[in-house]
Amino acid sequence: MTRILIVDDEERIRSAIREYIEFEEWEAVEAKDGMEAVELSRNDKFDIIIMDIMMPRLDGYSACKEIRKRSDTPVLMLSARGEEYDKLFGFELGVDDYVVKPFSGKELIARIKAILQRSHAKLFEDWDGVPEIQLQGLVVDFRGRKVIVDHNPASLTPKEYDLLFFLIRNRNIALSREQILSKVWGYDYFGDNRTVDAHIKMLRSNLGPYRKHIVTLRGMGYKFEA
């Protein structure tokens, strides 16, 4: 059974989310702050973590950072703020998606299902049956989910891995932002296309001199040239 950890300091919000989750016949576990969430994630396994940002003791961003040290469990962040800076900061920490309060149960469940679908799928396991490719000093290990840049391991978030693997699997093909959102994020994105641009920017930064392989297609999207 799908197990979901709900982290929010407001009991009424946890209760509402629990109702949505249990209606889908998933199991819900609650935590009232970031400290409790980190502890639970150390001792238990969850398919997804839904976490508020503003909480006492340990905020959502700090909790996500701690959880990411030991686990790549998908994190869906609940935010009362929708500013681009907040989202970019979260994406750099490995947050998978955002829901801005107030949100509808329909939107929340749609985003949860999309994340679960991505995490259960094996779309990025290899590349045409090849477990690893090398482009000069850039080595991409699909099955090990590792990227080496000039003999140094690149520190990519889970979403950056997925994005890079998807671009490589579709090498030399022009991809629109909408296509990338649909395949990598797993749904027709509710917001705008800046999510893709933000992740491309971070990915390029981590690829160093090999950022040149990710080509911007003005007015459309991106292409991985190899």
Give pLDDT tens digits for 86-105: 677 778 777 888 888 888 99
Considering only CA atoms, which of 166, 183, 162, 159 is closest in space to residue 98? 159
Residue 190 pLDDT grade (very low, low, confident, very high; cuts 50, 70, 90): low
Residue 138 pLDDT grade (very low, low, confident, very high; cuts 50, 70, 90): very high
Contact in structure between 52 and 71 (CB atoms under 8 Å): no
Residue 126 pLDDT grade (very low, low, confident, very high; cuts 50, 70, 90): very low
pLDDT the model gives residue 11: 94
Q: Give yes or no for residue 122 having a pLDDT over 50.
A: no
Q: Give the chain's domains with CATH numbers.
A: 3-120 (3.40.50.2300), 132-224 (1.10.10.10)
Q: Give yes or no for residue 69 having a pLDDT over 70.
A: yes
Residue 84 CB coordination number (10 Å): 11
